[in-house]
Amino acid sequence: MFYTSFIRYLYPRKKLKKQMVKKHHSKRFNVIPVFILLSFSLLLTSCTKEDSFIEPSVSPEIVSSDLRTNNQVLTELFGFMSHPDYLTIGNSTSENKVLSYLKNNGGNMLNCYARNSMKSSSERTKFAAFCRKAVSTYGIKLITCDIRETSEIATWDAFYTAYPDLRSVVAPLTEKEPWVTNDYAGCFTLLRLTKAMCNRYGAKFYFYEGWMGKNYAYPQRAVDSMVYYCDGIFLSNYVSLTDYLSTQAGYGKWDNRIKYRLDQGSSSYGGITVAAKKFNKLNYPIIELQSLESSFLLNLYSVTGLNHSFYGSTYSNAKSLYNMSNSDVLKYTELIGKSLFYHKYVLQAKPY
C-alpha cells in the first residue's frame, strides 16, 4: 500500500497503470536512488550543523526549545580559588586545614587549581576522596577544577566514569582567556567538546569571564558561545580599592565594567544578558569573582582593612546593586554567589 501511494505521488495518474505492470521489475531500482539521495542529504546537513556550532549566534537552526535552561534557584555559593602551594590533595592535614578555614569563613564552594589531580588514576582517586570529604564533612556544595586544553577532557571522562556520585558536585571551570591569548578558535573547540562530555554525565561546566569577545572580530558571538555551552559564569570584578569605594558615577562596588559585560556589552566585548536572552536561558547563574591581589582589594579584607568578612556585607552590597539592574538582566541572569582570587592573597588578608 505504501509503495502504491509513493508511485502515485511520483507519476501522473494516467501513467500509473503502465508503471504498475512493471512494478516487480522496477521496484528496487526506483526506491534505491531515492534512499541514496535522502541519506546523502542528511549527511551534508549533519556536517553543516557541526561546523556552525562554533558561533551559535550565526546558527539559527540551534535556537530551539532545547536551549531553554530550567536553572532552579541554587544555594548561594561562596568560596575562593585554591592553589596546590597551599592545598596538598592526598594529605589529610593540609586538606582539613583548608576545608576548616573555608567553612569557618562562611564558604561552601572551592575552586581548585588542581589539573595535576586529574592526570592519573591514582591522583584522581585522591581527588575523589578529598571531594567526598569536603561534601560530607564540611558541607561543600560545589567543587570546580580548572581545565585549559581539549587533551584534558579524557581525564574528566575517566573521573566521572569512576566516581558517578561526584558528577553533580564536581565540575570543570575553564580559564582559557582567549581575550589574552587570541586563541578564540581553540576556546570554541574546548567549550563545545567539554560541554558534550559533561552532557554525557549530567555534569555542569563553568567559565571564568574576564573580557570575552575582546580582540575578536565578532565580540557578541564569542559571548554567545560562552553562554550557550557553559552552565554558569564566574564574572571578574577586578577593581582597585579606590574605584571600589568611589561614589563617582560609573564606579563603586558594582561599576560599569561589570554592568556592561553582564548586560549588553559594548563594541569591543559582548554582553551576557544578550546571549542568555537569545537562547532563552532564564536565571543564568553568575558568580562574582573578586581579586585580593594588592593592586585590587587586598586592603579591603586584610586584618587592618575595612571589612573582615569575605562574604558578608560586601556580597550583600553587590546583590543589592545587581537587583537594581534592568528587567532583562534580572530575568535572564541570577547572581548566586561570590569567589575570591586566589589562595595566596586570601591567606595574606586573613591568615590561618
Cell (9 digits) for 164: 558517578
Place of cell 595574606: 348
Q: Which CATH class is domain 76-349?
A: alpha beta
Quote the pLDDT of residue 303: 74
**Is residue 53's pLDDT more than 50?**
no
What pTM did the predictor assign?
0.82
Structure confidence at residue 48 (pLDDT): 32
Residue 341 makes CB contacts below 8 A (sequence gap 6+) with 80, 81, 236, 238, 289, 290, 291, 292, 293
- The whole-number pLDDT of residue 304 equals 72
Q: Are 128 and 169 in contact (CB under 8 A)?
A: no
In the chain, where the domains are located: 2-51, 76-349
Q: Which pLDDT score, from 0 to 100, does residue 5 have?
A: 43
3-state secondary structure of 292: coil
- DSSP per residue over 326-339, as a string? -HHHHHHEEEEEEE
Query: pLDDT tens digits, residue range 20-47?
Result: 444 444 444 444 444 444 444 444 443 3
pLDDT digits (tens, 9 = 90+) for 213-265: 999 999 999 999 999 999 999 999 999 999 999 999 999 999 999 999 999 99
Altogether, the residues listed in the chain come to a count of 352
Question: What SS3 class is residue 110?
Answer: strand
**What tens digit of pLDDT does each residue of 148-198 get?**
999 999 999 999 999 999 999 999 999 999 999 999 999 999 999 999 999
**Residue 107 reports pLDDT greater than 80:** yes
Three-state SS across 14-65? HHHHHHHHCHHHHHHHHHHHHHHHHHHHHHHHHHHHHHHCCCHHHCHHHCCH
Kindly write down the DSSP assignment for every residue of 129-174, as one continuous string: HHHHHHHHHH---EEEEEE-SGGGHHHHHHHHHH-GGGTTTEEEEE
Peptide bond into 342 cis (omega under 30): yes
The DSSP string of 239-262 is --HHHHH--STT-STT-HHHHHHH
List CB contacts of 7: < 8 A, sequence separation 6 or more: 16, 19, 20, 23, 30
* Nine-digit cell string for 35: 534512499
Report how far residue 63's alpha carbon sits from residue 71's, in angstroms, rounded to the nearest whole number.
18
CB 340 within 8 A of CB 292: yes
List, in sequence order, every residue forming a beta bridge with 111; answer none if it has no partner. Answer: 81, 144
